[in-house]
Amino acid sequence: MTDKQWQQLLAVLAGEVLDPLPCGFIIDCPWLPGWYGVKVIDYLVNQQVWLDANRKAIETFPDVWFLPGFWAEFGMCTEPSAFGSVCQFTEDGFPHAKKRILRISDIDDLQVPDPHTDGLLPFVIARLRWASPVIEDMGHRIRFSIARGPLNIASFLMGTTEFLMALKTDPGPIHKLLRLITDFLRQWLQLQQESFPSIDGVMILDDVVGFIGSEDFDEFAFPYLKELFDTRLSVRFFHNDASCSQSIGRYAQMGVNLYNPGSGDGITKLRQLAGPEVTILGNIPARDVLADGSPDQVRQAVKEMLSQIKDRRRWIPSCGGGMPPGVGTENIKAFINAVRF
C-alpha cells in the first residue's frame, strides 16, 4: 500500500467514511499466478516473477487496496515447514503441508521453531529484503507482519479432523500444542516487524476458528489469538472466511479492528454481530460471483450489497474471503465501477 492508501485505511478504521468508498482485496498465490499467466511453482520460487505479478496488480488497479500487499508466502506450507512438515509442491497446484503429528504423544516431542533459521521462514524474510527497495521505488511499503493462526497451523500439523476431535478427547495436550505454536508465532511476527520498520499492521489468518462452537472458541482460540493481537500496531487484521456467527462478537475484545469474513452471512448481520468497532472487509461471494459470474452479475451483487448498508462507517467493499482463483480483470473492474458509480 502507498502512504496515502495507508492513511486512508487508518481513517476508515477510525470511523471516517471515504468518498468514493475504497475497494480492498486479499491477494496471494491462489489468484495471482493464474491472473498473471504463470504456473504456481514459478510464482513461488522465482523472485522476479513474484515481484512482477504483484507489480502488475497494483499498476492495473492503482486505486484498489491490495492486502497485505507484496505477500511473500509459500501458501499453507509457510509456518508448518518450520515444525518439520513435509511440504508438497506441484507444478500448478497449491502447496500442501503433510501431517507432522501422527499421535497425541508426538506433541511432547515438538519444540518452538526458530523463525530466523527454520523451514521456509528465512526465505520469506530474504525475499522481502531483496524486494523492499523496489517496492519502495513503486511508492509502496511493507505494511504487515503476517502469519497463519494457531488453530490453522495445528490442523496442518495433525490433520483437521484429528485436531478437532482432540479438542474434545485430549484438551490438555491440545493446549500444550497451541501454547507452543503461539509462542512461535509471537517470535515470527516480531522478526518480521524488526526486519521491516515500515510494518504497522498484523494479519492473522485462521479459518479453523470457523469450525468450532462458541465454547470451544472461548477456550481454544480466543486466548491465543488475543495474545497475537495484543500489540500497539495500528491495524490488527483477522481473516476467517468459514463460519463466524458464533465468534465474531468477541473479535473486538480479541483486539481485532479489521476483519475479512466469508459470504455465508450478509453484511447487515455481520455488522450487527461484530459491533460498531470492527471494520469489515467484504463480502460478495468470492467464487460463485466474483470468479464465476459475468461482469453484469458482479455489478448486480455489489449493488445489492451496497443497498444493505445504511451506515457505511468501518466498511471496505470486497469479496467474502481472499481473491479466489479465476477472477478476471473485467470482473474486478466491474466490482470497482459498481462501488463508485
Determine how many CB atoms are found less than 10 A away from the CB of residue 289.
21
Q: How far is 289 from 315, CA to CA, in rounded Å? A: 20
Mean pLDDT of the chain: 97
Enumerate residues 6+ apart whose C-beta is below 8 A from 309.
267, 268, 315
pLDDT at 318: 98
The pTM score is 0.97
Residue 119 confidence class, pLDDT cut points 50, 70, 90: very high
Q: What are phi and psi of 136, to 5 degrees?
A: -70, -35
Residue 291 confidence class, pLDDT cut points 50, 70, 90: very high
Residue 269 has pLDDT above 90, yes or no: yes
Q: Which residue has the cell 476508515?
A: 12
H helix runs in the chain, sequence order: 3-13, 32-36, 40-45, 47-60, 121-137, 150-158, 160-169, 171-195, 214-216, 222-229, 251-254, 267-274, 295-308, 329-340
pLDDT at 279: 98
Residue 62 confidence class, pLDDT cut points 50, 70, 90: very high
pLDDT in tens, 305-333: 999 988 999 999 999 999 999 999 999 99
Which whole number is the average pLDDT over 104-117?
Answer: 97
DSSP of 238-271:
EE--S--TTTGGGHHHHT-SEEE--SSS-HHHHH
Class of residue 319 by CB neighbours under 10 A (exposed 0-12, middle 13-18, buried 19+)? buried
pLDDT at 187: 98
Residue 47 has pLDDT above 90, yes or no: yes
pLDDT in tens, 122-146: 999 999 999 999 999 999 999 999 9
Which whole number is the average pLDDT over 169-181?
Answer: 98
Residue 58 has pLDDT above 90, yes or no: yes
Domain holding 306, by residue range, is 3-340
R_g of the chain, CA atoms, integer Å: 19
The CATH number that applies at residue 294 is 3.20.20.210
pLDDT at 333: 98
The number of folded domains in the chain is 1
Length of the chain: 341
Structure-block grid coordinates of residue 282: 467484504
